[in-house]
Structure 1
Amino acid sequence: MIEVYSEALDKTIRTGRVIGKINGHKKGPTMVFFGGVHGNETAGVFALHKVFNHINPKEISGTLYAITGNISALEANKRYVNNDLNRLWKEASIEEIKSKTIVNSDEAELLEIFDLIQDILNKDSGPFYFIDFHTTSSKTIPFITINDALINRKFAKQFPVPVVLGIEEYLEGPLLSYINELGYVSLGFESGQHTDKEAIINCESFIYLSLAFSKAMSSESIVGFPIYYKQLQDQSYSIHETFEITHLHSIKPDDNFIMAPGFKSFQIITKNMLLAHDSNGEIRSRYNARIFMPLYQKMGKEGFFIIQKIKPVFLKLSEILRRLKFDGVLVLLPGVSWQDKRKKVLQVNLKIARFFAKSFFHLLGYRSQTVEKNYLMLFNRERTSLKSMYKHELWYKKSH
């Protein structure tokens, strides 16, 4: 099996960006899968090779793409070469890279993927689905990460794995955040630990479930569909709740950060528990919560995250408030206004912002934020979501 996977990686490096493209026999969704955006995370690459070599185009509706992420980093078996490719996808960064006469390895990868995405969006028809496969340096159950938009929540909840919201509030420039800002469904699937064979199997299972849930392929035509579902259900220990990130421990190269051994994602931690060490000494938990994606590799700026479960009543409340566009009422308050007529960015005077709880803005879909002059700028994925593209999909209507 190791030889087969090595051959798949060698083939990926030789053949280039597109692992595979399948044109279905009739109209349907366009599904775009990414593997290897981080070069030391190969599970998605292996799984995409295997599945795309087995799929019968006559059983597909729509168009499927399997795309390689960072080819240079895959060849070097490194997370990245010069810059983390999954932190470059900000509009300003993309424009800056496009204006350069000389780009480094990772920037060249971005430009190729950017052009390919634009080409797909221009030539293919929706609804569009984008799925990015990753693995973690620590032990973990499989899980989904999403930007907190209702279209993402609804599609993600079909899978028998936990869903983690709010990654966009703590990370700048992930590929899927950029795609979600364009308005499309975009999911990140973390399938397991880097070197775990189960991570590959989990990716394969996720691909088949994605095809069924999007109606690119009927579940009846997927041999072993219940097995794929049970694989993810068992691997996640039937944890199917929704969590949100509440804290990130960021690190710098000179911090000499060392994670305490043995932690795995979703593990319950208690206040004052020893989590890691750095140049300043011990790092202990300030929360009774769960640890998420603890860092056990040399490359990376995120030491660990803290997550907490979201009660279903708050998920439902946030859906109701977003449908009512309740954030439109906020602009009636002094010190609160829209940045422009597009009504995508809410600006709140910093003197007023301190009276609002962070969780209140989360209910309305505002998670990503920056400070400009005297204002807190809040970005809402809900107002950029292309809901009309998905409103007739079964998974969207069911959740109503």
Structure 2
Amino acid sequence: MITIGKPVGRSRTIGHLKGDKGGPTMIFFGGIHGNEPSGEQAIQEVFNGIVKNGISANGNFYGIRGNVAALLAGKRFLDRDLNRLWTDEKIEKIKGKSKYELLSEDKELLSIHQILSDILKTESGPFYFIDFHTTSSKTLPFITINDALINRKFSKLFPVPIILGIEEYLEGPLLSYINERGYLSVGFESGQHTEREAVDNSIAFMWLALVYAGALKSVDIVGFEAYYRQLKNSAKENASFFEIIYRHPIESGEKFQMQPGFQSFDIVNKGKVLAEHNDKVVLAKQKSSIFMPLYQSQGEDGFFLIRKTPKFALWLSVLLRKIRMPALLPILPGVSWADKKNGTLLVNERTARFMAKPLFHLLGYRNRVINKSEILMTSREATAKNSMYKETWWYRNKKSVQNSYGMPS
């Protein structure tokens, strides 16, 4: 059974396909930011392609529009950023408002939250959540993930760069909320807002994801190999892992102007002039790569800096997590459990000074400063529903049994 939603403005649902057999449940989001319509368009085109070509499917998959009102207006948001509201505290506060107090994005959140709740109650796993975005600057296509191993394993199938650690710098993204509940969640940034290539990259990514998750068969998709090559070529054969090391925040009402010409992944040397903020020059603090420089009027992130993650560090982090090394952290002075069930640590700031941040990152922890003397460390690994994905081919996959398109030989 296939349901195709109405045009934007009339329906939250872009499409819904229920396959004949058991399989994964996949949820694709497009337009969480209203000035990023490429994902919504790509989801629509893939659903239409499935209908037109009579492709059979397993499991269920949904296409969901994000900020419908902002999509209609062509703005990132109307009242506040929908992709910064997804924390338990903010959601409960929104739920407690009267209908007269609700802002535009509050209403969007409540609608999406209800749909997610219904899907998780009525459908079976494994669940895959994929959120399509674009950037205001030119960029290679790339993936952003919270650093859980299920996210890493699935993301490695795609021939594009993978960015770790964004949850440490942003509060309230939709995918972080979903990942905290243990489900696989992947963000795909397909290109610059207005470029057709961004739509094409999202289409390619969606076809690949549907096949990799087992919802569709590659032999039923005309040009499946071409979709893989498209992403590989668009990413200029860059499929490395990177980690965010700096975010330049912008407060409401402040003046910010990025220097022209920067593209994501451009290398910048220490001392390079990057922007002007409140009429003061902003310099690169170290040699790194610039990431998502802001070339639009709305946004709280001026730019990020990233660096490539060494392969050895990736390998070591997997090993340490598998032997449950994080469980030993509370025996260290100044480290205690804030929430053992969810793997949350409370770390004394003095202790943290002597324990390098990269060590916590290796073990899957990201930090949130809560006051001057304490840091809250959260682990995506502790809540990850690994058992839900352990029978999938990609979870059990070793690189040696992959062919050039990420599929098992």
- Residue 342 of structure 1 is matched in structure 2 by 341
> Matches of 1:326 and 1:41 in 2, distance apart?
41
Partner amino acid, structure 1, of 2:277: D
Deviation at 1:113, TM superposition (A): 0.2
Partner amino acid, structure 1, of 2:105: D
> Matches of 1:306 and 1:340 in 2, distance apart?
31
Q: Please identify, of 343-352 and 17-26, the stretch whose mean Cα deviation from structure 2 is larger.
A: 343-352
Deviation at 1:104, TM superposition (A): 0.8
Answer whether contact 1:168 1:368 (CA < 8 A) is retained: no
- Residue 67 of structure 1 is matched in structure 2 by 64
> Matches of 2:355 and 2:370 in 1, distance apart?
15
> Matches of 1:340 and 1:107 in 2, distance apart?
29
- Residue 402 of structure 2 is matched in structure 1 by none
Deviations 1:110-138 (A, max 9, x none): 00000100100000000000000000000
Answer whether contact 2:342 2:383 (CA < 8 A) is retained: no
- Residue 295 of structure 1 is matched in structure 2 by 294
> Matches of 2:66 and 2:310 in 1, distance apart?
35
Question: Is 1:28 aligned to residue 23 of structure 2?
Answer: yes
**Consecutive unaligned residues in structure 1, runs of 5 or more:** 1-7
Deviations 1:147-186 (A, max 9, x none): 0110000000000100000000000000000000010000
> Matches of 1:341 and 1:70 in 2, distance apart?
35
- Residue 14 of structure 2 is matched in structure 1 by 19
- Residue 55 of structure 1 is matched in structure 2 by 50
> Matches of 2:259 and 2:135 in 1, distance apart?
16
- Residue 227 of structure 1 is matched in structure 2 by 226
- Aligned-partner SS, 1:327: helix
> Matches of 1:336 and 1:84 in 2, distance apart?
34
Provide closer, same or farther for how the CA distance between residues 284 and 340 of structure 1 changes in structure 2, counting only shifts above 3 A: closer
Q: How does 1:124-203 map to 2 (within 5 A)?
A: 124-203=123-202
Deviation at 1:9, TM superposition (A): 11
Question: Is 1:316 aligned to residue 315 of structure 2?
Answer: yes
Provide closer, same or farther for how the CA distance between residues 341 and 138 of structure 1 changes in structure 2, counting only shifts above 3 A: closer
Answer whether contact 2:6 2:14 (CA < 8 A) is retained: no
RMSD: 1.6
- Aligned-partner SS, 2:36: coil
- Aligned-partner SS, 1:21: strand
Question: Is 1:239 aligned to residue 235 of structure 2?
Answer: no
> Matches of 2:135 and 2:339 in 1, distance apart?
39
- Residue 4 of structure 1 is matched in structure 2 by none
> Matches of 1:123 and 1:344 in 2, distance apart?
28
Provide closer, same or farther for how the CA distance between residues 373 and 261 of structure 1 changes in structure 2, counting only shifts above 3 A: closer
> Matches of 1:290 and 1:373 in 2, distance apart?
30
- Residue 5 of structure 1 is matched in structure 2 by none
> Matches of 2:330 and 2:280 in 1, distance apart?
46
> Matches of 2:342 and 2:6 in 1, distance apart?
47
> Matches of 2:24 and 2:367 in 1, distance apart?
29
**Consecutive unaligned residues in structure 2, runs of 5 or more:** 400-409
- Residue 263 of structure 1 is matched in structure 2 by 262
- Aligned-partner SS, 2:354: coil
Answer whether contact 1:9 1:45 (CA < 8 A) is retained: no
Answer whether contact 2:35 2:193 (CA < 8 A) is retained: yes
Question: Is 1:46 aligned to residue 41 of structure 2?
Answer: yes
Answer whether contact 2:342 2:379 (CA < 8 A) is retained: no
Deviation at 1:374, TM superposition (A): 4.2
Partner amino acid, structure 2, of 1:34: F
Q: Which runs of 4+ in 1 moved over 4 A?
A: none
Question: Is 1:389 aligned to residue 396 of structure 2?
Answer: no
Deviation at 1:353, TM superposition (A): 2.0
> Matches of 1:58 and 1:193 in 2, distance apart?
30
Answer whether contact 1:24 1:58 (CA < 8 A) is retained: no
Q: Please identify, of 83-92 and 56-65, the stretch whose mean Cα deviation from structure 2 is larger.
A: 56-65
Deviation at 1:281, TM superposition (A): 2.0
> Matches of 2:253 and 2:102 in 1, distance apart?
27
The TM-score with structure 2 as length reference comes to 0.93
- Residue 83 of structure 2 is matched in structure 1 by 86
> Matches of 2:42 and 2:81 in 1, distance apart?
23
Answer whether contact 1:35 1:68 (CA < 8 A) is retained: yes
Answer whether contact 2:13 2:62 (CA < 8 A) is retained: yes
Provide closer, same or farther for how the CA distance between residues 24 and 77 of structure 1 changes in structure 2, counting only shifts above 3 A: same
Deviations 1:265-295 (A, max 9, x none): 0111111111111224211111111100000
Deviations 1:49-97 (A, max 9, x none): 1110121465211001000000000111100000100000011000000
- Aligned-partner SS, 1:12: coil
Q: Percent identity?
A: 51
The TM-score with structure 1 as length reference comes to 0.95
Deviation at 1:351, TM superposition (A): 2.7
> Matches of 2:102 and 2:201 in 1, distance apart?
35
Q: Please identify, of 364-373 and 253-262, the stretch whose mean Cα deviation from structure 2 is larger.
A: 364-373
Deviations 1:296-343 (A, max 9, x none): 000001000000000111001001111111011111122222123415
Answer whether contact 1:35 1:133 (CA < 8 A) is retained: yes
Deviation at 1:220, TM superposition (A): 1.4
Partner amino acid, structure 1, of 2:48: N
> Matches of 2:116 and 2:242 in 1, distance apart?
30
Partner amino acid, structure 2, of 1:249: H
Partner amino acid, structure 1, of 2:9: I
Answer whether contact 1:243 1:310 (CA < 8 A) is retained: yes
- Residue 378 of structure 1 is matched in structure 2 by 377
Partner amino acid, structure 2, of 1:370: V
